[in-house]
Amino acid sequence: MQTNHNNDLSLKYEKPRTGSLWSQSLHRLFRKKIAVVCIITISIMYLAGSITVFGSPTPYGYNEQHLTIEEVKQGPSLAHPFGTDRLGRDLLTRVIYGLRTTVIITLISLLTGSLILGISLGLISGYFEGWADLVIMRIGEIFLSFPGLLLVILIAATIKPRVRDWVSEWAPGFESFSGIDLISLGIVDYFVIFGAMSAFSWVGMARLVRGQVLHVKQSQYIEAARAMGASNYRILVYHVMPNIISPVIVLVSMGMGATAGSEIILSWLGIGIQPPTPSLGVMIFENGSIGVLRSDPHLIMFPIMTVTILIFAFNLLGDALNDALNPRAR
């Protein structure tokens, strides 16, 4: 009887959780198969776009033209897995270089807008409150009164011609000194898109961080740090930030999909990245007609599939991160 009683107790015993909260969150995240698939998909796409810095990953250049009848608008084959476009350019190469454009835009826009500007303003607004909170939040509300994409379109369409004129006036001296053509390489277009997206992308992050800081700053460990004479900088960096980072990670993952979509839409509208710089939006714009869809569907199908898979993966990863980092699931 004693043995049976011990067996019952051993069946009821549950091994306590070990490891930090971050390790537990990562364990929950990687237990989700859809999250693992999304991480692998996004990593492959971003890696493919990143390696173009060292040269073309295919035997073809992104603007290498083959204007023979056999090469123009060729369907998918072993030599050209995605086919060729109307100028005989390899479509797979152009999609990969289009991903490079998306990688650059999403990373730098989020780094400058959401992460640096949004988190900094959110910390200042929530921790110090007072007039700083009033000014930052009122400016954010003004930006939020406009549809985000419409605001980006207005900023890009207004600033871009002036920036191009200014660069055209002053660029010859810079080009002769550095050998870099700022306009033909699309550098001007990149900077305009960075500025337009960063101008509004900070608002959502700042509001989220402010709300989290207002909640965390009432905690006893914050009061204890103040009583021990810790500086505001030390409290923000070592006590506040680690406790608000979870929702920030979720918002960043979802924001990357939205940023990628915005860049593609701007290029599709003709005010984003322009030829000869490859962009998925430009490829969709150039081939977005019923005639192309009927005669050469590969020209529009592969760019659209790439965009759809990338944005869908970011959205699913954001949901998985929210489930893994949600304190109520711990």
pLDDT digits (tens, 9 = 90+) for 155-172: 777 777 777 777 666 656
CA distances 296 to 61, 73, 159, 291, 305, Å, are 22, 7, 36, 8, 15
Phi-psi region for residue 219, left (φ > 0), alpha (ψ -120 to 50) or beta? beta
In a domain, 212, yes or no: yes
Residue at 309 is within a domain:
yes
Which residues are CB-neighbours of 124 under 8 A, at least 6 positions away?
A: 132, 133, 136
Residue 167 confidence (pLDDT)? 67
- Kindly state whether residue 8 falls inside one of the protein's structural domains: no
Could you give the percent of the chain with pLDDT greater than 90?
11
When pLDDT is cut at 50, 70 and 90, the band that residue 1 belongs to is very low
Cα four-point dihedral sign 76, 78, 84, 87: negative
CATH number (domain holding residue 164): 1.10.3720.10
Q: How many residues does the chain have?
A: 330
Residue 298 in contact with residue 83, Cβ under 8 Å? Answer: yes
* Count of domains forming the chain: 1
Residue 10 within any structural domain of the chain? no
262 occurs within a structural domain: yes
For residue 190, being part of any structural domain is answered with: yes
Q: Look up residue 222 and give its amino acid.
A: I
d(CA 137, CA 139): 5
Assess if residue 177 is contained within a domain. Answer: yes
pLDDT of 168 reads 67
Q: Is the peptide bond before 276 cis (omega within 30 degrees of 0)?
A: yes
Q: Calculate the CA 243 to chain-centre distance.
A: 23
- Weakest mean pLDDT among 185-194, 208-217, 313-322: 185-194
Confidence of residue 150 (pLDDT cuts 50, 70, 90): confident
232: tokens are 């505001």
pLDDT-derived band of residue 189, with 50, 70 and 90 as boundaries? confident
Most confident of 2-6, 155-159, 162-166, 208-212: 208-212
pLDDT confidence of residue 16: 45
Q: Which of 83-87, 145-149, 153-157, 168-172 has the lowest mean pLDDT?
A: 168-172
- The pLDDT mean for the chain works out to 80
For residue 40, pLDDT over 90 is answered with: yes
Residue 183 has pLDDT above 70, yes or no: no
Instruction: State which residues form the domain around 107.
Output: 21-329
What average pLDDT does the segment 311-321 reach? 86
For the ranges 22-26, 143-147, 259-263, 296-300, the lowest mean pLDDT is seen at: 22-26
249 Cβ neighbours under 8 A, 6+ residues apart: 321, 325
Per DSSP, the three-state class of 90 is strand
Gap between the Cα atoms of 7 and 328, Å rounded: 32
Q: State mean pLDDT over 96-109.
A: 85
Which 3 state secondary structure label does DSSP give 308? helix
8 Å CB contact between 260 and 105: yes
Q: Which of 285, 290, 256, 254 is nearest to 271 (CA)?
A: 285
pLDDT band at 10 (very low <50, low <70, confident <90, very high): very low
Does 13 reside within a domain? no
